[in-house]
Amino acid sequence: MQAIELLPLVLIAFSAGLIDAAVGGGGLIQVPGLFSTLPQHTPSTLFGTNKFSSVFGTGMAAWRYARKIDIAWKLVIPAALTAFAFSFIGAMAVSYIPPAWMRPLVLALLLFMLGYTLRKKDFGALHRPSHIGRRELIIALAIGGAIGFYDGLFGPGTGSFLIFLFIRFFGFDFLRASSAAKIVNVATNLAALAFFIPAGHVLYHYAIPMAVANIAGAFFGARMAMRGGTTLIRKLFIGLVSVLIAKLAWDIFGTLLAR
């Protein structure tokens, strides 16, 4: 391990933890950073290293939120449990469903989310939680299963999808939706590690220092989000979804032009 490789990775991990704690999307920073800094390693090893680092940052953010924010545990725990199970299934399905097939669908969903959020100015502005009954529990299980499978299979935008769905179906505001999303994200990351660690796809000499930096970034990111509240997270959410749309569109059209 060389310091010339570790230093940029630690800085990248800190930045990823900072952004991810507020609104998700840390993988947009950390995964490209790993691929550009350690191109000699296989993609599966880099993905495993990313998950190892990010699960600690996500866990820190979840802990910070849980101490300060009233989380609807009756909805979040079932969603997290199904997310864990289906994330593992999604990771196993990677070899059967090429991720390239997912890009157009995900791009369309992100465009819908962005348009919906911009059109409804009060979307996620107020916390008006719905009564937790059988219908809400079923929806929570379905959200956890669908997003968990997606995270294991493909991944980009997982946090954004969770935030949008928690607002849309349960009446959360952006701050509480982001808090709930962190809990579910911890579950999907743990499921992915249950796949990557036994397979030996984690570079611990990079992953452990990155995890420490990710924790530090997540600490400050969660603090910033709670101070800025719903207004800040809405702005960050719109910005992150816009970046995701641009990245996926670039990937899709870049692939088409290369043919």
The pLDDT tens digits of the residues spanning 16-52 come to 999 888 888 888 888 888 888 898 888 888 888 999 9
This prediction's pTM: 0.86
pLDDT at 52: 94
**Segment 158-177, tens digit of pLDDT:** 888 999 999 999 999 999 99
Residue 2 backbone phi and psi in degrees, to 5 = -110, 145
Terminus-to-terminus CA distance in the chain, angstroms?
37
For residue 216 the two structure tokens come to: 């530090």
More confident residue, 114 or 257: 114
DSSP code of 120? -
Q: Is the dihedral of CA 114, 190, 104, 146 positive or negative?
A: negative
Q: What is the spatial distance between Cα 76 and Cα 59, in angstroms, rounded to a whole number?
A: 15
